[in-house]
Structures are given as structure tokens and as C-alpha cells.
Amino acid sequence: MPDNAITLEQAGQIAYLRFQNPPRHTLTATMVGAMTKALGRLAVDTRVLVLRSATPGVFITHYEVGELSAAAERSAASQPPAAHAPSGTAETADTEQLHELHQLIVGLEQLDLITVAAIDGLAMGGGLELALGCDFRLLRDGTHVLGLPETTVGIIPGAGGTQRLTRLLGSARALDLILHAQLLRPSQALELGLVHRVFADADFERELGAFVDDLAARAPLALAAAKRAIRQGQDMPLRQALALEQREFQSVMGTEDARNAMAAYLKGRRPSFQGR
């Protein structure tokens, strides 16, 4: 991994987490650890975090297969082969330690700020799973592909792909995409709802900038509350989720930003949000 594999750049209230690992542009355990540490260095007033590659034409090709192969050998040596892995109990699932890539992606989801994956090239396997943990996925148009092709090499997505893709697209489409290891062009990814926007190659940087600037200008406490209500509420029964929404609504109603913005609206003025 190069010394500058992971860099964090602050541009006012927008932060850019950039990564690179030539020549294969894969994701490694060392990079995951460096990304996790970078999240801890975000400025306290950061409103938007953009994840993107430092290498044009590629996001992350996939997780480093060499590391996966070594893990497979260790697994085979430590236990006899089985027809299938035991599913375990609910108690086991609640207490089982998630691996570092899981922890990184869950950490992204739990950030109060808004996260954007700027995908300007190839994104497969662990690269796409990282993007799935972001609040928004913006894609540069072109001939590159996205997908979760792990079944091609005899494994399954292992960084949340089976779960987040199902929650995003439904079980029928997740089964089709994962079991057939389908790779999607940008237009197909947009049509399925895998990404939020596809921008023309020549317009990508300008459109990306406008997108994140718009988010950074909005009420950060309200965006954070809405994000929590949506992400946490999707796994709750409706009545419990409505109670969550009610608590988040009440939490932002008394903020200085909300009071000032509603007063500005009544006077026909444009509000400015201070995060208070």
C-alpha cells in the first residue's frame, strides 16, 4: 500500500476521503484500518463526507483476493469442510464481533453527517459494498461496471452486500444480481435504483460539487435527524418507527436553526444554517 493510499482533505464543511492502491486498485485490510482512523480526524463542523478514488477511472475494483485466499486457507486448516455454515442463534448474531470492514461501513452509516460515494469508475465486490454504506451514490457515466461477483470465485459478498442490496432493491433482485454475479453498466445501475444519479463524464466534477454544496448548505441537525429516523426506522415495526420519528422531530423543533429558518420563511428570506 502506498504511503498516500488514504488521504483526508477538508474543504470548509465538506471533507474528501480519497484512496488509491495501484496497480490493481483493490481494497485491503490495511486500507480499511487507515480509513477508520481517518473518520476520527474529521473536523467537528464537517457536514458532508465524500468518498472517492484518487485514481481516475476506478473506484475500487474489489477486495484484495490475495487476502481472501489466505483467509480461505486458514479457514480450511482450522475446521473440517461442511455442506453449509451453521446459521447460529439470534443471541450469537447479537454478540458476534463484526470484522473491521463491517465496522467501517456501519460507522459510515452511523455518522450524523451525510456521506457520498463519488464513483467515477469500476466498483465491484468490497468496493461496491463500501459505497452501499454511504447515504448517496453518484456515478460517472461510461463503460465501467458495478456488481457483486463473489459467487464467481466460490464465496459470497462478505461486507454487507447480501444485506444492504436486499434492503435497497428487494430480495428477488438481490438474489438475481448476487447469484448470477451480474455486472451493471451505469444506466442499468440507475434504472434499478442502485445509484442515485448518473452524470455525464464531462459534467461529473461540476455536478458532484453542486450536489455536495447543496447538502452542506442545508440544516445539518435536521439532515442528521432525518438520516437517523430513516436508517434506524427501516428495521422497526411501523408504530415503533413512528415513535422514533416523533422523537427526532421534537429534537430539531427547538433548535436555533429551525426557529430562524421558519421565521425567515414567513418573511420571505433565505435561511442560513449554523448547526445550532
148 alpha carbon, distance to own chain's centre: 15
CA distance 193 to 185: 12
Q: Given this model, what pLDDT does residue 177 score?
A: 98
Residue 45 has a pLDDT of 95
Q: For position 168, what pLDDT does the model report?
A: 97
Which of these, 36, 18, 15, 204, lies nearest to 113 by C-alpha position? 15
Domains and CATH numbers, the chain: 6-77+93-217 (3.90.226.10), 220-266 (1.10.12.10)
Q: Is 100 a catalytic residue?
A: no
- Position 207: which residue type? E
Structure confidence at residue 70 (pLDDT): 62
List the one residue out of 169, 185, 177, 132 whose CA is nearest residue 152: 177
Tell me the pTM: 0.90
205 is catalytic: no
Q: In this predicted structure, what is the pLDDT of residue 4?
A: 87
Q: Indicate the SS3 state at residue 146.
A: strand
What was the pLDDT predicted at 67? 75
From the list 64, 96, 150, 191, the catalytic residue is: 150
For the residues of 81-135, what is the DSSP string, one character each?
--SS-----HHHHHHSPPPHHHHHHHHHHH-SSEEEEEE-EEEETHHHHHHHTSS
Give residue 132's pLDDT.
98
Residue 231: per-residue pLDDT = 95
In single-letter form, the type of residue at position 53 comes to: S
Peptide bond just before 23 cis, omega within 30 deg: yes
Catalytic residue among 67, 96, 129, 207: 129
Q: pLDDT digit string (tens) for 35-54? A: 999 999 999 999 999 999 99
Q: Which residues of the chain have pLDDT under 50?
A: 83-86, 89-92
